[in-house]
Chain A
Amino acid sequence: MSYKIYVPCDTTAVSIGADKVATAISQQAQAQGLAIELVRNGSRGLFWLEPMVEVETAQGRVAYGPVRMSDVASLFEAQFLEAGDHPLKLGLTEEIPFLKQQERLTFARVGVIDPLSVSDYAAHGGWAGLRNALTLTQADIVSAVTVSGLRGRGGAAFPAGIKWQTVLTAQGEQKYIVCNADEGDSGTFSDRMLMEGDPFCLIEGMIIAGVAVGATQGYIYLRSEYPRAFTTLKTAIANAKAAGFLGANILNSGKAFELEVRLGAGAYICGEETSLLESLEGKRGQVRAKPPLPAIQGLFGKPTVVNNVITLASVPVILAKGAAFYANYGMGRSRGTLAFQLAGNIKHGGLVEKAFGLSLQALLNDFGGGSRSGKPIRTVQVGGPLGAYVPAEQFHLPLDYEAFAKEEFMIGHGGVVAFDDSVNMAQMAQFAMEFCVEESCGKCTPCRIGSVRGVEVIERIRQGENRAANVELLKDLCDTMINGSLCAMGGMTPFPVLSALKYFPTDFGLNAAPKV
């Protein structure tokens, strides 16, 4: 009998030793003459327990972690292949509270299956959405996405079904599906985890999108910082094609869809959809003025759906289980689930897929376990580098797009970066401006020049130079950037800055928050 063992191949798991653990397990098994089948799965997203090794038993999968190379010998001594006791034993994986309390719809298979096995994917509910979609009219597929309430997970939260409808009705011999896999926000890694752990889910979502709007070519625009995801996606596309899910005649339906991965080149702005399209066309990633919308004139001037990885990867479950099933989760106009990412100074860093509506407090404490340093969490930045810093007194807020927007906060792509009380918020405000200087596409003055001025003014405030006057100047500058920038890079960089000023005035040497 052969034992089945899982050791993740996810970037973060590998960044703290998963490859070494996998090798050690193979060698030890061979030395002892034990037959094992070692699967390199994605990560379950419990990163403080990575490298997390799982063994398959009659009762279900049993986890051990965090496993270091030096633990492997003792795991074998403890007969971990038979789920033997060991200080690192975590019990049944599915019963670990951090995982058990989640609602994994989009991430149902991540960490569970072999990411590159078409049949493992199928055995875990994969391709059911596509098979259903192929029996529906284009309008009915689009309508299912609309009724599900799915909104774009890349940041702007635009209803996906409405975008698809626009592309469906747009005239054009060639239409495109473009997946935005640029995931540039600090504190986010859900796209990466999904692409590394369940690439067929994204591929299936893109095929469904193609069938729905009549697009025959798809591109995944992947950031160059994700070399593992790149390799995984290329192999997965080849495997899907060999199995008949991509190509000129998908599952003998008469529908065609081809898919290609393209690498970005280290420009944050290329996550902005029009900049991304310019980049895909082989140009500088400069933002285009809208209109025209990409849905009407997108890639190479043709009607194009641009959606985030998680948006597209949420489509298969909607088509498999129905729009109502998905819409049943969530609150208000935020339907379904979001894959929140706990990052930064947090004890239990990882991925939490939950219906909208849980509070930041619950996310940070019940799931996150507080800060990693053990000091109080002073603030969290939610929604990436353009998102505001939320102070502890606002942690009661429910994670809901509208509830956040009301306070000038942003949920964005769902990244939550925790900072303990050693953080200097004036320094973080300055960094927000520095990042904008570094990453501005240069097309408009408020962003390109405004951010340079912003850095200077914050420096002066920090040095105590004409503090009151410079704070006024900073607020004016933020106003100009918010109102005069062409895209959200310049238009939202002020949000982290102003939130720092509003909630943490003492870090700027002020006694009280300046009036806004």
Chain B
Amino acid sequence: MNTTLEALIQAHRDQAGALLPILHAIQNQLGYVPAEATPLIAKSLNLSRAEVHGVISFYHHFRTTPPGKHTLQICRAESCQSMGSRDLEAHAKAALGIDYHQTTTDGAISLEPVYCLGNCACSPAVRVGDEVQGRMDAAHLDALIAELRQGGVA
């Protein structure tokens, strides 16, 4: 783990404003930013651990625990609400048996809120990995969840 982290930090440390690029690189590779990363980054960028931790905790995107195999984001913003996203999120929570920021017991799916995916002309929208799906409804969401549980999609 530490050699992976060191390599990722090394690859980005000389960029101006390197901290976010480093954190993105780590999360891209590992799915989250592990606690071990904080002191290594702090040392490399000549920051305090508190500063690095403060940055990680400020941004919704960065997580400090491993995600499930897939992360399902449901858009909660206004445009999607106008097309029924409140019902959709209730349906997702019930179908998965979890709340936001949790992972199903089989480790397949983590559920996260998101505020707008820029897909508002085809609301409501959800995102899995790098794929956005528009005009989502309960039936399509059930199909998507089933597909994810079988290990498909992104």
Contact = CB atoms under 8 A, between A and B. Distances in A.
Interface of A: 11-12, 14-16, 45, 47-48, 50, 183-189, 191-192, 224-228, 262-268, 279-286, 300, 341-346, 349-351, 372, 381, 385, 415, 417-420, 423, 428, 431, 435, 438-439
Interface stretch (B3-11, B51-59, B103-111, B144-152): B51-59
Nearest to B130: A227
Given A189-B120, A435-B115, A11 B132 contact: yes
Interface stretch (B64-72, B73-81, B88-96): B73-81
A349 B130 contact: no
Contacts of B16: 281, 300
Contacts of B119: 11-12, 15, 189
A184 B115 contact: yes
28 contacts: A11-B132, A12-B132, A14-B131, A47-B122, A48-B121, A183-B118, A186-B115, A188-B120, A189-B118, A189-B119, A189-B120, A225-B116, A265-B24, A268-B115, A279-B20, A280-B17, A282-B45, A284-B54, A284-B55, A285-B58, A343-B121, A343-B123, A372-B83, A385-B77, A417-B78, A417-B120, A428-B81, A435-B77
B26 interface: no
Interface in B97-145: 114-123, 125, 127, 130-135
Interface residues of B, number: 41
Contacts of A262: 17, 20-21
A442 to B, nearest CB: 9
Nearest to B80: A186
Contacts of A12: 118-119, 121-122, 132, 134
Contact of A187 (B20, B23, B79): B79
B78 A344 contact: yes
A267 B118 contact: no
A300 B17 CA distance: 9
A153 to B, nearest CB: 15
Contacts of B29: none
Contacts of B127: 225
Nearest to B83: A345
A40 to B, nearest CB: 16
Contacts of B60: 265-267
Contacts of B77: 186-187, 385, 435
Given A11-B119, A189-B120, A344 B79 contact: yes
A283 B55 contact: yes
B78 A349 contact: no
Contacts of B131: 14-15
Contact of A228 (B19, B20, B120, B130): B130
